[in-house]
Structure 1
Amino acid sequence: MQIAKQQNLNLFSITEKVIDGLPIGVLSDGTPYASIRGLAKLCGVDHAVIVRLIKNWDEEQLKPRGQKILELLRAQNYFNKNLYINASNGHRDFLAIPDAVCMALLEYYAIDADLPNKEIARTNYRILAISSFKIYVYTKCNYDPNRKVDGSWQAFHERLLLNDNIPINYFSIFKELSTVIVNMIRGGCKIDDTTVPDISVGQIWARYWTQNKFDEKYGARCKFPHVYPDTFRQSSGGEYEAWIYPADALGVFRKWLYEVYLMDKFPKYLNTKVTSGAIIAPDANKLLDVLQKPALTTSDISK
């Protein structure tokens, strides 16, 4: 029987800015992007119009509007099946609209679309046609395309790709910590073979699991191969085995991660990284502020 695999995000926003109300950024592979709402604002249309277009692209490209946009995409040397990239910004997953798609749609709404008021799209198209969307985003986000991707991003990305095959009915500590690790990198913490937070979390969670006899409640955990990149010293030991846990316990883990680990254990872990020089104390404090977010209450939802 073939084991179902999780489909995971491999690209992350390494820098993101909001310029004049327009969320833009750069993905970990160097692709400049805008959000759906940002692109809609550029084009002077409601964001629902862009949502329908990109999510129903298989059908839309067969219509007159879609055929024209398809021509513009090809002129931008864009031949991907989708008009978006699945990505994460450390807090949530989102759809990133790459620069080529942004320019093709902006050109369509500035020149070809039958809209009563094209001035917004026309103005933005003139601005970006001169400097190019890519250069505009790079400049606004202070991103140097000639600079190598930060080693921490590279190390995390490599590890993520090497361990992207967890069975869908289980979860792994490393993959569940993706948001924490992304925020650590953004907070200035160097991630390498000396900073592996999932080991700390995994050891404490394993004890908590055993003490509470969760095998009896949620099903047995099991060992699954975990591989380190060649740049990690741990890779010399070959393939490791790490615990993975039944998906039914995922909610319990996330609650424990917030209430126990991030609130009590993580500050102590960060303190060791401050001592080792992996992160400076002010950045560590900022990181704690980001990760120790208040829980959502029933009254918050009803507002």
Structure 2
Amino acid sequence: MSLINQRNLGLFSITESRNNDLGMGVLSDGTPYLTNRGLAKLCGVDPSVTLRLLQKWDDEKNRPRGKKILELLAAQGYGEQHLYIEANGIHGPFLAISDAVCMAMLEYYAFEAGQTNAEIAKTNFRILARSSFKLYVYEQCNYNPNQKIDDSWQMFHERLLLNDNIPINYFSIFKELSAVIVNMIREGCKIDDTTIPDISVGQIWSRYWTQNSLDKTYGERFKFPHTYPDTFRQSSGGQYDAWVYPVDALGVFRRWLYEAYFMDKFPKYLNTKVTSGAIVAQDASRLIDALQKPSLTTSQPHNNTNED
């Protein structure tokens, strides 16, 4: 199930570098890239040469040069229609060329093109082959792909420890969403003081509770102190009060959460996080899929007793 259209939202550069005069960076989904000028410099050719390959690929892939590059791309498992990713950068839209395309074109100009300055491409190919394109770009851009996840775990853990004293006969929205938040972090969503899913869930569930007069069936809810860690901006407002609900209503809440909120409201919430850059579109789609839990159906056992 893909509820979020990545093509409409697009990727963007989260870090850029021009070390060694190479335009490079990392996109919001972790993809390392070179700009066209960076790729051309790496291959030892004029930027107009690589730009034509990128923009006229439908024609170029049927010509001798393009056929060879196509073989090199296939060897790397690359099967995309285009050789570039349309992305947004600090200075506006640009064409980002991913590692597979860069390495295929670099290998072509190093060993297949027969150009007079092939040594430039050969030297760069050997440098990147000794480590990897991805690690090279990450290092040049001072990008740590695990940092976002590490920070998210730390902030979630701090908040969990501060709010672990809910009365045993009540439940809180934050603690009930712990498994959801863990899945969000695993799928690459940055959890910090700008991404607090329990606020969204709590507000909508509160309206549902009131509209359906659930207090008459399960008892009164009441406000209980909720504390944010010092790493959250919300901590400057002191202690907050959040609703806690009778534990007898927990089954109703869980059913509502998976059958109503996750099916309708959660994709809209994730879209706002994709737009803000907290999570990328394909990760959001995977997260939605991960939260679709199957329901258990039961039936009466068959009576196989032979009464003849």
- TM-score, normalised to structure 2, is 0.49
Query: For the pair shown, which has the larger CA radius of gyration, 1 or 2?
Result: 2
Structure with greater contact order relative to length (CA < 8 Å, sep ≥ 6): 2
